[in-house]
Amino acid sequence: MLSTMQDDQLSLANLLRHGSKLYADSEVITWTGGEARRETYGEVGKHSAQLANALRGLGVTGDQRVGTFMWNNAEHLAAYLAIPAMGAVLHTLNIRLFPEQLVFVANHAEDHVVIVDGTLVPLFAKQLPEMKTVRHVIVANGDPASLEAPAGVQVHSYDELVSGQPETFDWPEIDERSAAAMCYTSGTTGDPKGVVYSHRSIWLHSMQVCMTDSMRLDQSDKALVIVPMFHAMSWGMPYAAMMVGASMIMPDRFLQPEPIAQILAAERPTFAGAVPTIWQGLLQHLEANPQDISHLREVVVGGSAAPPAMMHTFEEKYGVPILHAWGMTETSPLGSVARPPASATGQEAWEYRYTQGRFPASVRARLINDAGEEVPWDGESVGELEVKGPWIAASYYGGIEVDPDKFHDGWLRTGDVGKITPDGFLTLTDRAKDVIKSGGEWISSVDLENHVMSHPAVAEAAVIGVPDEKWDERPLVAVVVREGQQVTAEELREYLQDKVAKWQLPEHWSFVDEVPKTSVGKFDKKRLRSAHAEGKLDIRHF
């Protein structure tokens, strides 16, 4: 028997209409380094309509892809709303991707238009000639004349293009299962992989983000959205905030501890989200420059493990609880949130809060061991985490080759290894692969190894992540020099300059006689890590 309920579609056009009308006075505040720019959600609605009209005017139709190469700001929010609401697909380009990967993702997604922040034009301009499908570039908050257009590409000023456009748009009815937005994730090997979110998945995810046991966002909140809109959809905060009328503070390019402290003092947000690196940096800044931050009712931390010591300092010294959460680009990204059971108090509650968190009703989870068997949720048995749910990816976009087991029998293999308590709290113990998490971004150890090993004097190179106070982890390269050859760490670092992004350049180097190997001849990074932890490696630091 079919239900008698309406089949109304969960579309971002409805979200935009709702947020901009019912919460017309809520604000998006963009930090500028000086006086903040303020826009009400009512104005966001009008600007989104103007942007949609402008994009239509450039010929954007159907599900064409519109890329953004932007910081978190009001213009990026308008793009987040206008592009999916008009039926097109928002593609958030990660400004930190290595140039070749940036070109790859723009071509793979077939971006037709890209909106670029003025300050990012120099970074974007170098790769634009290789982006084969881009016909229009819109420069926001900057001078379009600063971008030299290759043949066949028109460059526009955002302000000129958008101002004068009608402030309403006839938003189409959209099938909730159609693509709304896409984001590429760069893993250890191979090309970046595109995750395509639907209107439905974003809607359901936004509801979960706002729920009391998740981020608890509501209309009284002022959320400081530090986590980039080009990485895992800013943890879903922009859409969730629009849904409930929470105001947003966007830091634009001002992500260092000092400006973050200034934003906190000036705007007194009630909520904020960022990777541990940002909070560690802020803590150090506050040590030297004390300031009241107790207006923050809570901050959410994820992307890599939140160090317990940091959680304690925040809460006990500054009165700000940290909420630990786990997720990935493929999970929209909210996968689990560490709110302790109501009955837990004192240290018991802390123990729950250190974990990666408990799964919400829509996220099913299981742990699979090396033999391919499910292991029990007993808080001890370890396995690879697999998840399933309405905002979890079922495949990657456009035939990217991945391990065929990545999405087996309808579950996503996360590559994360851990254990789960009987009441559903996940603790990650390891990563199945050995990517290095630096400041919330991935560094592929395999990539670095391959580049170092391409040097003629190098026989072998293995890269591991070593703990770093500021960036969580930084790469350490263990190098075996070929017999009869000589090379210094300086020369190898120099050699990498034009091969990897600058922020990926390793600053720790160690020359070893051999890289420890596993029984099947693979680099044994576990042993390398222990050697490092035990201080057995002779390291040249930069």
Task: Tell me if residue 442 is catalytic.
Answer: yes
For β-strands 425-431 and 412-420, DSSP reports them as antiparallel
Which residue, 135 or 433, has its beta carbon nearer to ligand AMP? 433
Which residue, 108 or 431, has its beta carbon nearer to ligand AMP? 431
Other residues' Cβ atoms within 10 Å of the Cβ of residue 486: 8
Task: Tell me if residue 326 is catalytic.
Answer: no
Of 39, 75, 330, 384, the active-site residue reads 330
Strands (E), 380-435: 383-388, 412-420, 425-431
81 near ligand AMP (CB under 6 A): no
For β-strands 111-117 and 136-140, DSSP reports them as parallel
Buried b (16+ CB within 10 A) or exposed e, 182-196: bbbbbbbeebbbbbb
Other residues' Cβ atoms within 10 Å of the Cβ of residue 446: 17
428 near ligand AMP (CB under 6 A): yes
333 near ligand AMP (CB under 6 A): yes
Selected from 339, 431, 455, 525, the binder of ligand AMP by CB under 6 A is 431
| Spatial separation of the C-alpha atoms in residues 435 and 528, rounded to whole Å | 15
CB 187 within 8 Å of CB 213:
no
CB 416 within 8 Å of CB 432:
yes
Selected from 20, 270, 356, 504, the binder of ligand AMP by CB under 6 A is 356
| Spatial separation of the C-alpha atoms in residues 5 and 390, rounded to whole Å | 20
| Contact stretch for ligand AMP (CB under 6 A) within 208-216, 287-295, 322-330, 516-524 | 322-330
Selected from 185, 198, 214, 504, the binder of ligand AMP by CB under 6 A is 185
257 near ligand AMP (CB under 6 A): no
Which residue, 326 or 377, has its beta carbon nearer to ligand AMP? 326
| Spatial separation of the C-alpha atoms in residues 390 and 63, rounded to whole Å | 21
Strand partners, 16: none
Q: Least distance in Å: CB of 465 to ligand AMP?
A: 12
Q: Least distance in Å: CB of 227 to ligand AMP?
A: 9
Q: Least distance in Å: CB of 249 to ligand AMP?
A: 22
| Spatial separation of the C-alpha atoms in residues 48 and 109, rounded to whole Å | 23
328 near ligand AMP (CB under 6 A): yes
What does each C-alpha distance from 18 to 10, 21, 23, 123, 483 come to in angstroms? Answer: 12, 5, 8, 36, 69
Task: Tell me if residue 377 is catalytic.
Answer: no
Backbone φ and ψ of 344, nearest 5°: -85, 135
Query: Nearest to residue 334, comparing CAs of 233, 408, 443, 184?
Result: 233
Q: Which tokens belong to 509?
A: 């180097």
Q: Least distance in Å: CB of 471 to ligand AMP?
A: 14
Q: Least distance in Å: CB of 276 to ligand AMP?
A: 9
Task: Tell me if residue 317 is catalytic.
Answer: no
Selected from 261, 305, 446, 501, the binder of ligand AMP by CB under 6 A is 305
Which residue, 249 or 436, has its beta carbon nearer to ligand AMP? 436
Rg (C-alpha) for the chain, rounded Å, is 24
Burial (CB < 10 A; 0-12, 13-18, 19+), residue 13, is buried
Q: Least distance in Å: CB of 407 to ligand AMP?
A: 15
Subset of residues 217 to 256 that bind ligand AMP, contact rule: CB under 6 A: 232
Of 442, 471, 473, 525, the active-site residue reads 442
Could you tell me which residues come within 8 angstroms of residue 361 by beta carbon, excluding any fewer than 6 positions away?
none
Subset of residues 264 to 303 that bind ligand AMP, contact rule: CB under 6 A: 302-303
| Contact stretch for ligand AMP (CB under 6 A) within 166-174, 220-228, 326-334, 359-367 | 326-334
Which residue, 133 or 188, has its beta carbon nearer to ligand AMP? 188
Q: How many residues bind ligand AMP (CB under 6 A)?
A: 19
Q: Least distance in Å: CB of 304 to ligand AMP?
A: 5
414 near ligand AMP (CB under 6 A): yes
Site of interaction with ligand AMP (CB under 6 A): 185, 232, 302-305, 324, 326-329, 333, 356, 414-416, 428, 431, 442
- Active site amino acids: 185, 330, 437, 442
